[in-house]
Amino acid sequence: MERTTAALPLSARVRPFLEVNVRCAASHLTAAEILVLPRRRQKGNPEMFHVIRPEGAAHLNRPHVIVHRMKLYSDEVTVVDGIPVTTPERTWLDMAEMLTVDELVVMGDSCVRVPRPELEGRDMPLCSIGDLQRMINRHKGKRGLRKAKEAIELIRVGSDSPQETLLRLAVARAGLPEPELNVPVISEDGMRHHEPDLSYRKYRIGIEYEGEHHGEEGQIVRDIDRSERYAALGWTEVRISKRHMFNDAKPAVAKIRAALIQAGWRRGD
């Protein structure tokens, strides 16, 4: 049986709409999906593709294509699966038109995080914070620029998931100290131990965000082992799950605040 169009990879589905003009590139939500960046789901017809048509390029009028007519420099285009796509940093800036500040920070954190080669097959970030700033500086007057400027001040290297980023932002908004991200615990004998998702070394507190996979039997065993290591090292473990993230993550913040106070933190420290 022939594969239906919907079953094809996104890059293959969008390719015909880009081949009509060599100066066009997949952009916005389409680029974010191809680059596997965290994003809001597209409303309406999922088969609508976003394409940038540079100023001065030939007219593009095709069904299923949302055309964005704007400046596009050659170093803002990369090639993925044989098709031109806006680079991660340019995609991030374009998405400022559509995302909230928090969502833009989530995407930015994903762009600049250092990947784990054993899991992802690469050891370099998609881009740097400097690359994101370069996009802001280059595209003065662009829609969403105010949000991009606000978001870049909040982007950090080290977050491994959208939920970790949202938890960090909630903690900061609540006036708690900013935690470190995925920094290994070093015991007094110099031994390197596990890396909490978020941590306060000064107060010996590690915060772990537990996704859906933490209900699996093997993961439960690993989580118990991790908790025992925390106790042996004299650290406090704070476990956060999806249920703590409702209501602007207030339940999560309350747990973290209680652990900090118990460890001797006082507001203003």
Return the pLDDT at 8.
Answer: 81
pLDDT-derived band at 64 (thresholds 50, 70, 90) equals: confident
User: What is the three-class DSSP state of 198?
Assistant: strand
Of 118-122, 215-219, 245-249, the range with the lowest mean pLDDT is 215-219
Give the CATH number of domain 162-262: 3.40.960.10
Q: Per-residue pLDDT averaged across 63-77, rounded? A: 90
CB 209 within 8 A of CB 255: no
Q: Per-residue pLDDT averaged across 192-201, rounded? A: 93
Of 51-55, 72-76, 197-201, 250-254, the range with the lowest mean pLDDT is 51-55
Return the pLDDT at 18.
Answer: 81
Query: Would you kindly state where each structural domain of the chain is located, as residue ranges?
Result: 10-152, 162-262
Return the pLDDT at 3.
Answer: 47
219: buried, middle or exposed (CB in 10 Å: 19+, 13-18, 0-12)?
Answer: middle
Q: Per-residue pLDDT averaged across 6-20, rounded? A: 80
State how far the Cα of 207 lies from the Cα of 191, in Å rounded to an integer.
20
Return the pLDDT at 259.
Answer: 98
pLDDT-derived band at 47 (thresholds 50, 70, 90) equals: confident
Q: Per-residue pLDDT averaged across 200-214, rounded? A: 86
Q: How far is CA 118 from CA 121, 208, 224, in A?
A: 6, 21, 24
Q: Where are the alpha helices (DSSP H) in the chain?
A: 10-18, 28-34, 88-95, 101-112, 117-120, 129-138, 145-152, 162-173, 217-233, 246-262
- Check residues 15 and 207 and name the one with the higher pLDDT: 207
Return the pLDDT at 159.
Answer: 95
Residue-wise pLDDT tens digits, 259-269: 999 999 998 77
